[in-house]
Amino acid sequence: MAIKPTIGFIGLGIMGKPMCRNLLQAGYPVVVYTRTKSKIEEMVKEGAQGAKTPREVGEKSEVVITMLPDAPQVEEVILGERGVIKGIERGKIVVDMSSIDPLSTRRIGEVLVSQGVEMLDAPVSGGEEGAIKGDLSIMVGGKKEVFEKCLPIFQVLGKTITYVGELGSGEMTKLINQIIVAVNLAALGEAFTLGAKAGLKAETMYQALRGGMAGSKVMDMKVPRWEERNFTPGFKIDLHLKDLKNALVTAQEMKVPLPFTSLVKQVMITLSGKGEGEKDHGAMIKFWEELSQIEVK
């Protein structure tokens, strides 16, 4: 049996912790780092090795995975004074599985390559549930041969793994994903609120619509949670808002109009301003519920 490479994992949030746990359960040696000491200690109890800095993760790992909120955190962890780049050896690999803008990805990649370190961008879709089950959708950009080398790792974390092109292509694909999910959530929220105001139950609408063209995975995942009034975050509104910001900035640079994305971003800003930003992005429905004075349940 081939010896599994040691994986460094940086970022133990809603997504990162279950992803790290799946790697441990698959038999990979894992070195972990995050800013919260208790999260490191939790993973150490499950078999991981703790690190005090990103640099130490780089020193002890053959493949370093980052799962962080946005580009500034990724840049600091990889390229900062105590970053991965200060410890990782030539020929090793950095895989950023965060959702950030493609230009930042390429900038980080250029610095790593100049030091002899390869990079892949591999953002994911599927939320906390997908991370726990290990059936995330993973969109990977970078050199094809590096992707193939890391494929066994991705297969532990996800079910649908797609190589999409050069470095930055994974992040671009994720932005497309986030636009579709956001606009879908908005359409569902608007439509289901109308139905609720007319006296229809959420479950009735869901069963009538799910098998037709209006059906979607977003509907399957969110309507049951609306019925339960469960807005515990699988993916936070504020994180989705960040993704739409990155999509709009990227689209502006490419001279591509995104009018619906812009509108949904304003809905998210409104909710974030009301203190809802830490809730699941399915809580977007509250925007229409408040306007219509009705709850979808």
Structural domain boundaries in the chain: 7-167, 172-292
pLDDT score for 25 = 98
pLDDT score for 175 = 97
Task: Give the residue-averaged pLDDT of 220-226.
Answer: 96
pLDDT score for 39 = 97
Q: Angle 169-197/102-114 helices, nearest 10 degrees?
A: 160
Torsion of CA 214, 218, 220, 223, to 10 degrees: -90
The helix or strand, by DSSP H or E, that contains position 164, with its residue range, turns out to be strand 158-165
Q: Are 46 and 22 in contact (CB under 8 A)?
A: no
Which CATH class name applies to 7-167? alpha beta
Place of tokens 């690999």: 93
What is the residue-wise DSSP string for 230-285? ----SSBHHHHHHHHHHHHHHHHHHT---HHHHHHHHHHHHHHHTT-TTSBGGGGH
pLDDT score for 294 = 97
- Give the C-alpha separation, 84 to 261, whole Å: 35
Q: Report the 10 Å Cβ neighbour count for 11.
A: 25
Task: Give the residue-averaged pLDDT of 78-99.
Answer: 97
Q: What is the pLDDT of residues 243-291, one digit of tens each?
A: 999 999 999 999 999 999 999 999 999 999 999 999 999 999 999 999 9
Q: Report the 10 Å Cβ neighbour count for 14.
A: 17
Whether the predicted pLDDT of 295 surpasses 60: yes
**Both structure tokens of 253:** 């640079």
Task: Give the residue-averaged pLDDT of 102-115.
Answer: 96
Whether the predicted pLDDT of 62 surpasses 70: yes
List the catalytic residues.
174
3-state secondary structure of 37: helix
| Residues in a beta bridge with 158 | 136
Q: Write down the H helix ranges in the chain.
A: 16-25, 37-45, 54-60, 71-79, 102-114, 127-133, 144-157, 169-197, 202-209, 217-228, 237-254, 259-273, 285-292
Question: pLDDT band at 1, cuts 50/70/90?
Answer: very low
Q: What is the pLDDT of residues 41-60, one digit of tens each?
A: 999 999 999 999 999 999 99
Identical fold between 7-167 and 172-292 = no
Please determine, looking at this structure, whether the domain spanning 172-292 carries the CATH number 1.10.1040.10.
yes
Q: Report the 10 Å Cβ neighbour count for 36.
A: 10
Residue 145: closest CA among 129, 163, 128: 163
What is the residue-wise DSSP string for 67-93? --SSHHHHHHHHHSTTSGGGTPPTT-E
pLDDT score for 59 = 98
The number of C-alpha atoms within 13 Å of 278 and in the hemisphere containing its C-beta is 2
Q: What is the pTM of this model?
A: 0.91
pLDDT score for 2 = 62
Mean pLDDT (the chain) is 97
